[in-house]
Amino acid sequence: MIYALIAVLVVVVLALLFFVLRYNRLVRLRNACQNAWAQVDVQLKRRHDLIPNLIESVKGYAAHERGTFDEVTQARTAAQKAQGPAEQGQAENILSQALGKLFAVAEAYPQLRATENFQQLQAQLAETEDKIQVSRQIYNDTTLTYNNAIQTVPTNIVAGMFNFQPRGFFEIEAEVEREAPKVKFT
């Protein structure tokens, strides 16, 4: 009788230990996803902060390009207001396209491209873009690990009991960004 009670107690303790360990793992993974997203957000904010300076430096040379400036400003505002990876990804893709147009305008002004201020801003933006790509990759890797954990047996049982939800990936939506760059030697 006492052995049966001890056996039941051991089984209960092991089951409880199993759930606690799985729950704690899911919490750690969820927090890692939130941290990775915060790192993406930091880099996106840096990008957003550089854009007004870039616009101002181009404005002095190409004041008649008002439509392009407005488009970049509107895209920046939309990107700042975006919430979550899917919405943020879409807004950032639109902003990237608008910035591409701004740089196309700048290409028409060799004096602008030669200024130290413009070169520094362009270099900072390029560096920030690289950091955004790294942050996106880390976020997506962390999200993959988390999503796998909440969808695989036996952790999915604990995830379902405590309402752990899958997270979305930060994906590139624009077909232009998916294409490989074309290199021409003339």
Between 185 and 110, residue with greater pLDDT:
110
What value does the mean pLDDT take over residues 101-124? 85
Most confident of 18-27, 51-60, 99-108: 18-27
The answer to the question of residue 106 being in a domain is yes
The answer to the question of residue 132 being in a domain is yes
pLDDT score of 146 more than 50: yes
Distances (CA, A) of 113 to 59, 90, 102, 106, 110: 13, 29, 12, 7, 5
Give the structural domain span for 82.
Answer: 26-178
Which CATH number does the domain housing residue 55 bear? Answer: 1.20.1440.20
pTM value is: 0.81
The answer to the question of residue 158 being in a domain is yes
The answer to the question of residue 7 being in a domain is no
* 37 Cβ neighbours under 8 A, 6+ residues apart: 85, 139
The answer to the question of residue 159 being in a domain is yes
The answer to the question of residue 16 being in a domain is no
The answer to the question of residue 52 being in a domain is yes
Confidence of residue 179 (pLDDT cuts 50, 70, 90): low
Question: Tens digits of per-residue pLDDT, 32-67?
Answer: 999 999 999 999 999 999 999 888 888 877 877 888
Burial category of 95 from C-beta neighbours within 10 Å (exposed 0-12, middle 13-18, buried 19 and up): buried
The answer to the question of residue 185 being in a domain is no
Domain count, the chain: 1
Question: Tens digits of per-residue pLDDT, 117-126?
Answer: 888 888 999 9
